[in-house]
Structure 1
Amino acid sequence: MNGAPSTVWFDRKRIAPNVPEDLESIDPMCEEIGKVIQLEVDQGIPRNKIIVGGFSMGGCLALHVAYRFQQEIAGVFALSSFLNDNSKVYKDLASSDCRRPPLFQCHGKVDPLVLYEWGESTKDLLIKAGVMCQFHSYPRLYHEMNKDELDKLQAWIDQTLTSS
């Protein structure tokens, strides 16, 4: 926003994969999501029955939560999302033999904000790091969601929670 404050999950210098991540703003948000997860656990929901996810920056944050802080959860989804090329997520996965929750990811091929190639590269690097991923692309989808995507997500959630 050219230096103007805005309400988002964390700070970005630019919407591009080749810039450094701002871990000073990402990590505290991951801790906050961790507190929400802990509240659910305290209410009797097992961690292996919890899925985190989101759209755009929310999906990016969910990837950080699932692969850096909450590896015991059932799964993670990221819609129209990407990780920076030098993401701490990739570094942590490469240096650890921790559990890797399965990933559901979708991306529109004509997304003008978060380019399709960024989402596809994120998927490829996560698979290379040992993450099981279900990836769906949509030829005419912009930076938005559609019914088919949400139907597939619902089926994936149902299957993931049944098998966990």
Structure 2
Amino acid sequence: MSSALPYIDVNPAGEIKATVIWLHGLGDSGHGFAPIVPELKLPDALGIRFVFPHAPERPVTINGGMRMRAWYDIKSMDFDKRADLTGVLESSALVEQLIEAEMANGVPADKIILAGFSQGGVIALHLGPRFHQTLAGIMALSTYMCQPALLPSEANAANNDTPVFMAHGEMDEVVPISMGKAAYETLKANHYNVSWQSYPMQHNVNMDEINAISQWLQSRLA
């Protein structure tokens, strides 16, 4: 089964036993987070494959209509209008194809992590709770939630207990930490198994966060 989304991948030395699908942020590409794989220092025995897809190119309103890789348009920086739902739904469908492709290649859903940074995290938080099979986990970094009021009605019971790892920079000037905390509180209020951690950084990742991600991935995919 092929996917409509182009991507780059980083494969383990041996058998593929698990997959992490990692979605980049606005204006970036799949190449942006690929260098993080060796820094995670994951045991070879886990057989983890990483897939870093490239978002489609589209005009982005807040950037003067400039075309760039984006999972959805951003028409306003207002808290409740930042994510264009139409684009979120379109990109979620494309990422779902990626998950299905991994499953078709022999990786069970419960060995697949859906991860994302910033815009990519919005897609992860939208698709993960709605996916029809139980995932190993959802990782949402420096991000927020699109249409949180829709979560209870659209969630799939398959992922009610799926662990969600959330992390955010305390000095994030792009996505204020309050937006990330609001997403965390929504998940917590809906009884998701969600963890929250913050770091003294801006809209990026740091080594402490990378170490925490590594430990979490190992706990989920061992």
Tell me the TM-score normalized by structure 2: 0.66
After superposition, the CA RMSD in angstroms is 1.8
Identity of aligned residues (%): 28
In the other structure, the counterpart of 2:201 is 141
1:63: how far off?
A: 0.8
Partners in 2 of 1:97 and 1:113 — Cα distance? 30
The 8 Å contact of residues 34 and 70 in structure 1, kept in 2 or not, is answered as no
1:161: how far off?
A: 2.0
Partners in 2 of 1:69 and 1:133 — Cα distance? 17
1:95: how far off?
A: 5.8
The 8 Å contact of residues 144 and 180 in structure 2, kept in 1 or not, is answered as yes
Structure 1 residues 130 and 156: alpha-carbon distance in aligned structure 2, compared to 1, 3 A threshold: same
Partners in 2 of 1:16 and 1:142 — Cα distance? 19
Tell me the TM-score normalized by structure 1: 0.87
Which letter maps to 1:37?
I
In the other structure, the counterpart of 1:105 is 166
SS in 2 for 1:6: strand
Partners in 2 of 1:44 and 1:95 — Cα distance? 28
Structure 1 residues 146 and 20: alpha-carbon distance in aligned structure 2, compared to 1, 3 A threshold: closer
Structure 1 residues 28 and 97: alpha-carbon distance in aligned structure 2, compared to 1, 3 A threshold: closer
Alignment of 1:12-91 (within 5 A): 12-19=74-81, 21-84=83-146, 87=147, 89-91=148-150
Structure 1 residues 150 and 42: alpha-carbon distance in aligned structure 2, compared to 1, 3 A threshold: same
Structure 1 residues 6 and 96: alpha-carbon distance in aligned structure 2, compared to 1, 3 A threshold: closer
Structure 1 residues 30 and 112: alpha-carbon distance in aligned structure 2, compared to 1, 3 A threshold: same
1:13: how far off?
A: 1.3
Determine whether 1:127 maps to 2:196: no
Q: 1:10 aligns with which of 52, 68, 72?
A: 72
Aligned pair count? 158
Structure 1 residues 74 and 131: alpha-carbon distance in aligned structure 2, compared to 1, 3 A threshold: same
Which is richer in helix?
1
Partners in 1 of 2:82 and 2:90 — Cα distance? 17
Structure whose alpha-carbon radius of gyration is higher: 2
Q: After the TM superposition, which parts of structure 1 deviate over 6 Å for at least 4 consecutive aligned residues?
A: none
In the other structure, the counterpart of 2:210 is 150
SS in 1 for 2:208: helix
The 8 Å contact of residues 11 and 22 in structure 1, kept in 2 or not, is answered as yes
The 8 Å contact of residues 103 and 132 in structure 1, kept in 2 or not, is answered as yes
The 8 Å contact of residues 53 and 76 in structure 1, kept in 2 or not, is answered as yes
Partners in 2 of 1:71 and 1:121 — Cα distance? 26
